[in-house]
């Protein structure tokens, strides 16, 4: 019996399983941010700290985001963010960073040396959340590609060995 199709099905199942896990983790992180009442000014402080550590130590931070597909719904993606600088001008806060993608449904898990690397600009802004009641929250979206939205970057998930891939 040729096991090749069986292994291909198993790898496909693993990829969908990982996708589901990322979706649940992303939703939970967004709920936690909303319930904490995180405001753009406070989130900006976190990104400033990331920029300092990135410059001094080459720190890259795990980030989850949603990518809208041309032919379907937005799906969760995972990557590592190298924060280069924070720009605040006229009430707008933008983050210049480099993103190394580590998981998408189409590609599955990607090793750093094979990953897509993109320079990007994120915008941090407050938004009104309307669910059962109204509350203020914070949102981070990509400015230079409107398909990528709802970035959540984790301060406690850091790698220092990815800087060489960010060039």
24-81 pLDDT, tens digit each: 999 999 888 888 878 888 899 999 999 999 999 999 999 999 999 888 889 999 999 9
pTM: 0.89
Q: Structurally, how many domains does the chain consist of?
A: 1
Report the half-sphere exposure of 158 (CA within 13 A, side-chain side): 12
- 95 is in which domain, residue-wise? 4-166
Task: List the one residue out of 98, 85, 88, 99 whose CA is nearest residue 47.
Answer: 85
């Amino acid at each position: 019996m040729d096991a090749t199709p069986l292994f291909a099905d198993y790898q496909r199942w693993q990829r969908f399983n990982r996708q589901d896990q990322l979706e649940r983790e992303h939703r939970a992180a967004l709920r936690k941010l909303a319930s904490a009442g995180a405001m753009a000014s406070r989130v900006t402080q976190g990104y400033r700290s990331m920029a300092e550590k990135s410059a001094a130590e080459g720190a890259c931070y795990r980030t989850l985001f949603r990518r809208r597909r041309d032919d379907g719904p937005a799906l969760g993606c995972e990557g590592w963010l190298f924060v280069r600088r924070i720009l605040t001008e006229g009430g707008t806060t933008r983050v210049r960073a480099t993103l190394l993608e580590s998981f998408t449904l189409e590609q599955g898990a990607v090793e750093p040396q094979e990953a897509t690397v993109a320079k990007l600009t994120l915008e941090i802004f407050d938004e009104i959340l309307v669910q059962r009641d109204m509350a203020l929250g914070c949102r981070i979206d990509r400015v230079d590609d409107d398909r990528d939205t709802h970035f959540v970057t984790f301060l406690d998930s850091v790698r220092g060995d990815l800087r060489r891939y960010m060039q």
